Structures are given as structure tokens and as C-alpha cells.
Amino acid sequence: MKANPLWVVFILSSVVYSYLSLSISVEHEKEIKRPFRSFLLSLFVLLVIGSITAYLTSVTSGFNWSDGVLFGGIIL
């Protein structure tokens, strides 16, 4: 059933239809949020995860620090 190209068209059209039928409005927001603070928190968490991944990759045998930086940057 997945080999048929019509199956892919059906799945894509279902996803597009579901996205277009969403009813998101500004009236549903209750309070004004500060996006900058949550952005900095998210960036900090991602930086920590990327740094830990870079360090663990660089200390693994068969990899060097450039591989660790590359992989950590991709994760970041």
C-alpha cells in the first residue's frame, strides 16, 4: 500500500488539510509573555547539550576535537 504514489498524495493532502483547518487566534492568549527570556533559556540549554555532546565526542577513541566541535555544532 505504501508503494502506491497515491498513498503519498493522500498523506500529504491530509497533513495540509489538517494544518489549514487549525483555528488559532490571538484571543486565546491570556497574558503577555516575555519571549526574550524564554529564548535565552532555550539557547542556554541547547548550548549546554551541544557542549556536552562535543566533549563526549572528542574524548571518544577514534575522534579528535574537530569532530567533537563539528558534531556539537550540528546538535546545537
Question: For 11-66, what is each residue's pLDDT tens digit?
Answer: 888 888 888 887 766 666 667 767 888 888 999 999 999 899 888 888 888 888 88
pLDDT at 1: 61
Give dist(CA 10, CA 2) in Å, integer: 11
pLDDT at 44: 93
pLDDT at 29: 62
Q: What is the pTM of this model?
A: 0.52
Angle at 25 between CA 12 and CA 36, to 5 degrees: 95
